[in-house]
């Protein structure tokens, strides 16, 4: 199965070059010089440029000196853009309030309200209260262990596999943090009133009301994969599909986009408003090693055996992503709890 791609051809090309960059690191066992040789031998021009071992000192007269840095930023941004079809955070990122990483953020606690008064009368002014703070820098790390021989001789299918696994690993670890915080004790909760289509529709209505939506709001619902399938096949009293715009991979309910995530339990549905969240994202940093010892399980715990990458002829690719987000209002997210969906009305 091919990797997830954004529709823009330029983004697809950038994401593909990022995967080639990752493959060169794996085949080169984490050695940038060896990885550059791999990329050059395969005709991967931009990955070879990114992996260049040394550059000359920069001058004001050399307009192309920083081209290597630009290539790295571009292909990294293309890969991050491709995650819009994989992860909840990245699907909503473009609609969130964008701020610099570790930049100051004002959280609105009391909104300002305008008033219309007649001439020669007092002008009441409401108070806009902000609790200031910085957008916390978050660090998510994902690892993918691959046999270098697979990428060396596997051609495009092997590269597709690496790209898809890397997309899934990075999106999953970011969504663990993002969804976990949006569903924490600060979020408003709505208890489930039942498992029928009518009860679910009523509960979702109450859930959206907790977000205090405005005219510019961009609400989103997040469900587990199992619940997406249950909602898609749920029938009403007449035997038709209760949520006709839903499918196993998401869709819409009452016009609200529904996103599917493996990082959310079956007992809840999360709602959030993109415009009430500030966010930032940086490029992904890659490195590789073939002489490490890992627990190759998800989730990993101390009871599982250690695996020597060297003994098993594997190379681990580590992807580190730096990002941040902050709720601008306490009403940015809400959770439907105690859910136990059935398949009919």
Residues 18 and 79: beta-carbon distance below 8 Å: yes
Domain-located, residue 152: no
Number of domains in the chain: 1
CATH of the domain at 192: 3.30.2320.10
Over residues 127-153, the pLDDT tens digits come to 545 455 677 889 899 988 888 889 988
Predicted confidence (pLDDT) per residue in 272-314, tens digit: 999 999 999 988 999 998 888 887 776 666 677 888 888 888 8
CA distances, 168 to each of 177, 264, 319 (Å): 15, 15, 12
Q: Give the confidence band of 1 by pLDDT, cuts at 50, 70, 90.
A: very low
> Would residue 41 count as lying in a domain?
no
Listed in sequence order, the residues at least 6 apart from 316 whose beta carbon sits closer than 8 Å to its beta carbon are 143, 144, 145, 146, 288, 289, 290, 292, 294, 309
In-domain check, residue 11: no
Position 242 pLDDT exceeds 60? yes
The pLDDT of residue 123 is 60
Give the tokens for residue 20: 């080639």
Least confident of 212-226, 243-257, 261-275, 288-302: 288-302
pTM of whole model > 0.95? no
Strands 219-223 and 269-273 turn out to be: antiparallel
Quote the pLDDT of residue 293: 85
On the question of pLDDT at 333 being above 50, the answer is: yes
The answer to the question of residue 233 being in a domain is: yes
160 vs 11, 151, 152, 163, CA distance in Å? 15, 10, 13, 5
Domain that holds residue 255: 181-277+330-337
pLDDT of 71 reads: 80
What's the confidence (pLDDT) of residue 303? 74
């Amino acid at each position: 199965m091919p990797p997830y791609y954004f529709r823009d051809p330029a983004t697809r090309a950038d994401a593909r070059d990022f995967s080639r960059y990752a493959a060169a690191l794996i085949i080169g066992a984490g050695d940038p010089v060896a990885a550059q040789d791999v990329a050059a031998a395969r005709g991967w021009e931009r990955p070879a440029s990114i992996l260049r071992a040394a550059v000359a000192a920069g001058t004001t007269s050399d307009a192309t000196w920083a081209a290597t840095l630009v290539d790295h930023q571009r292909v990294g941004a293309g890969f991050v853009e491709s995650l819009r079809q994989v992860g909840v955070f990245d699907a909503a990122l473009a609609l969130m309030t964008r701020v610099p990483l570790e930049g100051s953020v004002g959280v609105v606690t009391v909104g300002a309200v305008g008033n219309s008064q007649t001439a020669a009368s007092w002008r009441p002014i409401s108070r806009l209260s902000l609790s200031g703070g910085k957008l916390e820098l978050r660090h998510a790390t994902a690892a993918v262990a691959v046999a270098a021989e697979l990428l060396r001789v596997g051609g495009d299918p092997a590269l597709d596999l690496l790209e898809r696994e890397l997309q899934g690993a990075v999106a999953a670890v970011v969504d663990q943090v993002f969804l976990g915080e949006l569903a924490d004790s600060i979020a408003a909760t709505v208890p489930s009133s039942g498992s029928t289509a009518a009860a679910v529709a009523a509960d979702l209505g109450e859930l959206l009301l907790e977000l205090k939506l405005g005219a510019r709001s961009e609400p989103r619902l997040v469900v587990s994969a199992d619940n997406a399938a249950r909602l898609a096949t749920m029938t009403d009293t007449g035997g038709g599909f209760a949520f006709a715009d839903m499918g196993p991979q998401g869709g819409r309910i009452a016009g609200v986009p529904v996103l599917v995530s493996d990082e959310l339990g079956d007992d809840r549905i999360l709602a959030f408003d993109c415009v009430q969240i500030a966010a930032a994202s940086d490029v992904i940093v890659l490195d590789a090693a073939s002489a490490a010892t890992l627990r190759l399980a998800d989730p990993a715990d101390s009871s599982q055996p250690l695996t020597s990458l060297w003994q098993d002829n594997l190379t681990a690719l580590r992807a580190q992503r730096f990002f941040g987000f902050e709720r601008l209002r306490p009403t940015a997210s809400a959770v439907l709890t105690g859910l136990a969906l059935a398949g009919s009305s």
